[in-house]
């Protein structure tokens, strides 16, 4: 993907405006920025951190925690689907093998 295909999108996070260059959909970039802003605002309101860098680091930790938890859920779901699929195959194999 070349530089020509990138768009610059203005986003506001924690009362700071950033120009984000991305090859993705500008609305998606804005959605991400709104989410980061929301998490940073929640951190600011729920902690004694006032320094924006500290707020950003705590917000990043919260977002990383959400991501890791979601990945763990996905892995658990994937394991469950694999296990159930193997069970179904073991039940169906004798039926398929016995057909004329």
| Ranges assigned E (strand) in the chain | 7-13, 16-22
Cα 94 to Cα 27, 82, 91, 99: the distances in Å are 52, 19, 7, 9
Size of the chain, expressed as the number of residues it contains: 100
- 40, with CB counted inside 10 A (0-12, 13-18, 19+), is buried
* pTM for this predicted structure: 0.77
CA distance 71 to 54: 25
Taking only the tens place, the pLDDT of each residue in 17-71 is: 999 999 999 999 999 999 999 999 999 999 999 999 999 999 999 999 999 999 9
């Amino acid at each position: 993907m070349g530089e020509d295909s990138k768009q610059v999108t203005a986003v506001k996070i924690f009362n700071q405006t950033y120009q984000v260059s991305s090859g993705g959909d500008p609305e998606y970039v804005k959605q991400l920025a709104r989410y980061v802003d929301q998490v940073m605002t929640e951190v600011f309101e729920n902690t004694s951190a006032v320094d924006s860098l500290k707020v950003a680091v705590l917000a990043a930790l919260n977002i990383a925690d959400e991501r890791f938890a979601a990945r763990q859920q996905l892995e658990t779901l994937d394991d469950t689907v694999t296990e159930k699929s193997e069970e179904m195959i073991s039940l169906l194999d004798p039926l398929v093998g016995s057909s004329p």
